[in-house]
């Protein structure tokens, strides 16, 4: 389906086609398979390839508009959860946005770089103990959750999402992708701050959440509280990356690192990739988007 | 400003944004003619033009402009 999708993009937006062609230059077979799985899931949900292409282009239109706003104003359009709540209630927006964002996980080179660090994270925390927990905050499109379920052996997988629509979509995607009736997972439609977790997780994942919240430090503090010294944490976010529902602006990578420091989380490994294959230095200088991901652990008390 | 004068300035903008001094544009130039002109660089191009000419493009125009000739028409109408 990727070939048909790209052909439609080429006929509707040559510039987006050129961007994708460049971005897909180093896609691996495994990543291509995951992308095809996502196309098939969307088709199973009743979308034609033409609709998917149009929804993806709408998503890139939102991106274009916000990028222009950001270049001119040096800030994101919105800065509070109240302002963006109306977007989350807009079915058409959410549909285009979720589909576009999901596809971008594998279509965009930047997102694939982060997925590579995520896979490294999983390979280091396989979770072979009898009572072990994988815990994900804001599983969104479900790619991380499914990848974790396929590649690790935790005894339980829990995802928590404040958005009912998002939680439902994640459940559907998991059921579709795994094609087996596994009983070891749960997606909860709850607020992370109201949720009393019964067991301390062995792995905590929070992909692209910090930029969507007013007070990202509070999320990191709570992650610290629910972690043990052995818990391994994967967190990704974005720097200078305008999207309609991004409300917290990280101006550079050091701001993200300093926030981890404040939350007493220690960086073990990280990846950063600028859009359009630019160097990190150039992206910081020109204030263009950089995506970043970190593997972390709780800082020991005496540090 | 004459169209020739506009094109002289436009040429400089294109050469600067795409970092290619060999670029020479005309009414029919499209993204197909300039290797680096993709959706991300399009944003830089539009923003640089807005600064150069002290005008703004509408979002609908940014999305649908088919060639440099259409860009030039909009700029001339607005400055």
**Sign of the C-alpha dihedral, residues A279, A24, A68, B25?**
positive
Residue A7 reports pLDDT greater than 90: yes
Residue of B nearest to A64 (CA): B43
The predicted complex's ipTM stands at 0.79
Residue A276's nearest CA partner among B35, B59, B5, B50 is B35
**Start-to-end C-alpha separation, chain A:** 51
Report the SS3 class of residue A201: coil
Decide if A268 contacts A230 (C-beta within 8 A). Answer: no
Average pLDDT (A132-142) is 92
What average pLDDT score do residues A158-171 get? 89
pLDDT at A130 over 70: no
| pLDDT grade for A163, boundaries at 50, 70 and 90 | confident
Residues in chain B with CB shorter than 8 Å from the CB of A60 are 39
State the pLDDT at residue A112: 94
Q: Is B48 exposed, middle or buried (0-12, 13-18, 19+ CB in 10 A)?
A: middle
Residue B69 — very low, low, confident or very high, per pLDDT cuts 50/70/90?
Answer: very high
Question: Rounded to the nearest 5°, which phi and psi values hold at A75?
Answer: -155, 160
- Hey, what domains does chain B have and what are their CATH numbers? 3-78 (1.10.1200.10)
**What percent of chain B lies above the pLDDT cut of 70?**
100
What average pLDDT does this structure show over A51-68? 90
Tell me whether A266 touches chain B (CB under 8 Å): no
CB spacing of B46 vs A15 below 8 angstroms: no
Of B31, B41, B47, the CB nearest to A68: B47
Residues of A in contact with B50 (CB under 8 A): 72
* A13 in B contact zone (CB under 8 Å): yes
Is the CB of residue A18 less than 8 Å away from at least one CB of chain B? yes
pLDDT of A167 > 80? The answer is: yes
Q: Is the CB of A60 inside 8 Å of chain B's CB atoms?
A: yes
| Contact across the interface for A18 and B47, Cβ inside 8 Å | no
Q: Do residues A254 and A242 lie in contact, with contact meaning Cβ atoms separated by under 8 Å?
A: no
Using the beta-carbon criterion (under 8 Å), do B40 and A275 form an inter-chain contact? yes
- C-alpha closest to that of A231 among A299, A162, A157: A299
Q: Which of A185, A170, A158, A257 is nearest to A217 (CA)?
A: A257
Residue A83 CB partners (closer than 8 Å, separation 6+) = A247
Residue B34, chain A, CB below 8 Å: the answer is no
pLDDT tens for each residue of A8-57: 999 988 889 999 999 999 999 999 999 999 999 999 989 999 999 999 99
pLDDT tens for each residue of A206-225 = 999 999 999 999 999 999 99
Which pLDDT value is given to residue A129? 66
Tell me whether residues A276 and B46 touch, CB distance under 8 A: no
What's the mean pLDDT when you consider all of chain A? 91
Query: A66-95 in b/e burial notation, b at 16+ Cβ within 10 A?
Result: bbbbbbeeeebbbeeeeebeeebeeeebbb
Residue with tokens 């974005």, as numbered in its chain: A238
- The answer to whether residue A68 neighbours chain B at the CB level (below 8 Å) is yes
Q: Is the dihedral of CA A273, A248, A218, A162 positive or negative?
A: negative
Cα nearest neighbour of B46 on chain A: A68
Q: pLDDT by residue (tens digit) across A245-299?
A: 999 999 999 999 999 999 999 999 999 999 888 899 989 988 889 999 999 999 9
Mutation pick from B18, B28, B33, B43 vs chain A, by most beta carbons of A within 10 Å, is B43
Cβ of residue A64 closer than 8 Å to a chain B Cβ: yes
Query: A3: pLDDT confidence band, cut at 50, 70 and 90?
Result: very high
Q: Give tens-digit pLDDT for B23-57.
A: 999 999 999 999 889 888 888 899 899 989 999 88
- A71 pLDDT tier (thresholds 50, 70, 90): confident
| pLDDT confidence band for B79 (50 / 70 / 90) | confident
Which residues in chain B have Cβ-Cβ distances shorter than 8 Å to A9?
Answer: none
Mutation target to probe the B interface, by most B beta carbons within 10 A, among A68, A108, A290 is A68
Q: Which of A16, A65, A72 sits opposite B59 (nearest CB)?
A: A65
Q: Does A67 touch chain B (CB under 8 A)?
A: yes
Nearest CB partner across the interface for B43, out of A14, A18, A64: A64
Confidence of residue A126 (pLDDT cuts 50, 70, 90): confident
> Hey, are the CB atoms on B42 and A65 less than 8 Å from each other?
no
According to the 3-state scheme, what is the secondary structure of A53-69?
HHHHHHHHHHHHHHHHH
The answer to whether residue B42 neighbours chain A at the CB level (below 8 Å) is yes
Which pLDDT score is estimated for A141? 82
**pLDDT tens digits, A96-125:** 888 898 899 899 999 999 999 999 999 998
From B40, B46, B50, residue closest to A19, measured CB to CB: B40
């Amino acid at each position: 389906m990727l070939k048909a999708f790209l052909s439609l993009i080429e006929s509707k937006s040559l510039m987006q086609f050129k961007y994708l062609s460049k971005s897909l230059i180093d896609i691996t077979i495994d990543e291509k398979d995951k992308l095809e799985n996502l196309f098939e899931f969307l088709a199973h949900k009743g979308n034609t390839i033409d609709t998917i292409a149009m929804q993806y282009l709408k998503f890139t239109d939102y991106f274009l508009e916000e990028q222009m706003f950001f270049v001119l104003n040096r800030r994101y359009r919105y800065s509070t959860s109240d302002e963006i709540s109306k977007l989350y209630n807009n079915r058409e927006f959410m549909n285009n946005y979720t589909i576009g964002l999901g596809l971008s996980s594998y279509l965009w080179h930047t997102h694939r770089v982060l997925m590579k660090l995520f896979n490294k994270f999983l390979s280091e925390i396989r979770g072979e103990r009898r009572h072990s927990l994988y815990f994900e905050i804001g599983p969104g499109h479900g790619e991380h959750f499914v990848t974790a379920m396929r590649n690790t052996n935790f005894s339980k997988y829990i995802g928590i999402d404040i958005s009912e629509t998002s939680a439902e979509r994640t459940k559907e995607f998991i059921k579709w992708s795994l094609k087996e009736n596994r009983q070891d997972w749960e997606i909860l439609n709850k607020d992370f701050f109201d949720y009393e977790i019964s067991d301390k997780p062995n792995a905590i994942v929070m992909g692209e959440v910090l930029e969507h919240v007013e007070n990202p430090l509070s999320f990191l503090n709570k992650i610290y509280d629910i972690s043990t010294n052995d818990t391994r944490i994967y967190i990704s976010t974005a720097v200078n990356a305008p999207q309609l529902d991004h409300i917290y602006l990280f101006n550079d990578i050091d701001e993200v690192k300093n926030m981890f420091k404040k939350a007493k989380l220690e960086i073990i490994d990280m990846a950063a990739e600028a859009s359009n294959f630019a160097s990190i230095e150039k992206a910081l200088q020109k204030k263009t988007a950089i995506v970043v991901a970190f593997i972390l652990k709780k800082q020991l008390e005496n540090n | 400003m004459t169209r020739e004068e506009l094109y002289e300035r436009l040429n400089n903008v294109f050469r600067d944004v795409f970092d290619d001094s060999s670029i020479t544009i005309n009414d029919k130039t499209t993204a197909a003619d300039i290797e680096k002109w993709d959706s991300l660089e399009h944003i830089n191009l539009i923003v640089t033009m807005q600064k150069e000419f002290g005008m703004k493009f509408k979002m609908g125009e940014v999305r649908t402009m088919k060639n440099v000739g259409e860009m030039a028409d909009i700029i001339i109408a607005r400055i």
